[in-house]
Structure 1
Amino acid sequence: MIGSLISDILFGFTGLISIINPLAVAFVFLDRTEGMTNAERDALAKKVSINSMCVLLVAFFAGTPILHLFGISIEALRIGGGLAVAVSGWQMLNAPDVRTKEATARNVDADNAMSKAFFPLTIPLTTGPGSIATAVALNANRTHKLSEFVTSAVASIAISMLIAIAVFFTLSHSARFARYLGIEGTKVAMRISSFLLLCVGVQIMLTGFSEFLIPIASAR
């Protein structure tokens, strides 16, 4: 049982962490928190990580029933969420480089960023449709046998906590990553992250479209 639990945790964590890619999200986070102090950025990173853990827990334990309740398919989740991610990446890719130095402007930016801790910083930038769909799929075949249900539940909680820790660590150290890269290196990393975010959004949409169209094409 313990071996199966560890295997489930490792499998779920590696699958989700590769989709979330917190290192790339860190540069997006840094761009969205420009002008904030380290303490403010840490507080926001903590909020985003907790939100991410809650989103994954909801996806693990109630994802399938919620989608069925509202009549939303996994394909629709991928297409809609992918569009949101792609639009965000496009906006960041074309945003001008603006460095605000006045304290009043910094406070406005901090308040604005804190208000966006859930959307779009948590959803869809961190735990987007790809990670939500993956979490739903991981527990889609959960059985009602008590021992297997308990193992699956413990694994889901452990995976969500590990993801939250990884997200908090990378987001809270985003400014340190930027210092290592320098000003120009950070600008390049942010543009690359924005472009990758755009590509991820498009890929999620394409996956949703293909999953929707393949059964139609097969029926013909």
Structure 2
Amino acid sequence: MISSLVSEILFGFTGLISIINPIAIAFVFVDRTDSLTESERAALARRVAINAFVVLLVVFFVGTPILHFFGISMEALRIGGGLAVAVSAWNMLNAPEKQPNEAAVKPVDPDNAMSKAFFPLTVPLTTGPGTMATAIALNANRSHKVSEFLMSSIASVTISFLIMLAIWFTYNHATTFARYLGKEGTKVALRVSAFLLLCIGVQIILTGLSEFLAPLARMNS
């Protein structure tokens, strides 16, 4: 039982962390918080990590019932969420480069930054539709037996906690990564991260469309 629990935790963690890809999103986080001090950025990183933990718990335990209650299909979740991710990434790709002295004259507004901790920094940039769809899929066949439900619940909480730690550590040290890369390297990393995010959004949309069109294709064949 313990071995299966560990296996479930490792499987869920690796699957979700590969989709979230906090290292790539860390450069986006740095760009979005360039007007903050180190302490303010650290507080925001902690808030985003906690938000991600809560989002994952909600999706793990009530994601499927919520979708059913509002009549939202998994395909609609993927298409709509993927579109939101793709649009955000497209805006980042086409954003004008900052002037060398822009950060110095830009007013620090930590309250406004904190108001964006949930949207868009947590959703959809960190825990986007791909993450939610994966989390729902991991628990789609959750058993109603007390013992199995308990083990699955422990796995869900543990996975969410590990994801929270990974996001907090990566975002909290995002400026260190940027410092090692240098100014030009950070610009390149940001553009690459935005492009990868755009590709992820498009892939989520394509997955949703293919799942939606598959039954129609089978009917016509």
Q: Same fold (TM over 0.5)?
A: yes
CA distance in 1, matches of 2:138, 2:129: 14
After TM superposition, give the deviation of residue 96 of structure 1 in Å: 1.3
Matched, 1:100 2:103: yes
Residue type at the aligned position of 1:111: D
CA distance in 1, matches of 2:139, 2:77: 17
CA distance in 2, matches of 1:178, 1:106: 21
After TM superposition, give the deviation of residue 84 of structure 1 in Å: 0.5
CA distance in 1, matches of 2:113, 2:212: 36
After TM superposition, give the deviation of residue 106 of structure 1 in Å: 3.1
Matches within 5 A, 1:66-77: 66-77=66-77
After TM superposition, give the deviation of residue 218 of structure 1 in Å: 0.6
After TM superposition, give the deviation of residue 114 of structure 1 in Å: 1.4
Q: Secondary structure at the match of 1:120?
A: helix
CA distance in 2, matches of 1:178, 1:200: 23
The corresponding residue for 1:127 is 127
Matches within 5 A, 1:24-173: 24-98=24-98, 99-102=102-105, 105-108=106-109, 110-173=110-173
After TM superposition, give the deviation of residue 35 of structure 1 in Å: 1.8
TM-score (normalised: structure 2): 0.96
The corresponding residue for 2:18 is 18
CA distance in 2, matches of 1:178, 1:191: 13
CA distance in 1, matches of 2:60, 2:21: 19
Calculate the aligned-residue CA RMSD, in Å. 0.8
After TM superposition, give the deviation of residue 100 of structure 1 in Å: 2.0
Q: What CA deviation, in whole Å up to 9, does each residue of 1:35-77 have, x standing for no partner? A: 2111011100001000101111011000000000000001000
CA distance in 2, matches of 1:69, 1:217: 28
The 4+ residue runs of structure 1 with deviation greater than 3 A are none
Q: What CA deviation, in whole Å up to 9, does each residue of 1:188-214 have, x standing for no partner? A: 000111111111111110111111001
After TM superposition, give the deviation of residue 178 of structure 1 in Å: 0.4
CA distance in 1, matches of 2:146, 2:115: 41
The corresponding residue for 2:178 is 178
CA distance in 1, matches of 2:107, 2:136: 39
Identity of aligned residues (%): 68
After TM superposition, give the deviation of residue 111 of structure 1 in Å: 2.9
Number of equivalenced pairs:
217
Q: What CA deviation, in whole Å up to 9, does each residue of 1:107-147 have, x standing for no partner? A: 23x33321111111001100000010010011110111111
Residue type at the aligned position of 1:207: T
Task: Name structure 2 gaps, 5 residues minimum.
Answer: none
Q: Secondary structure at the match of 1:97?
A: coil
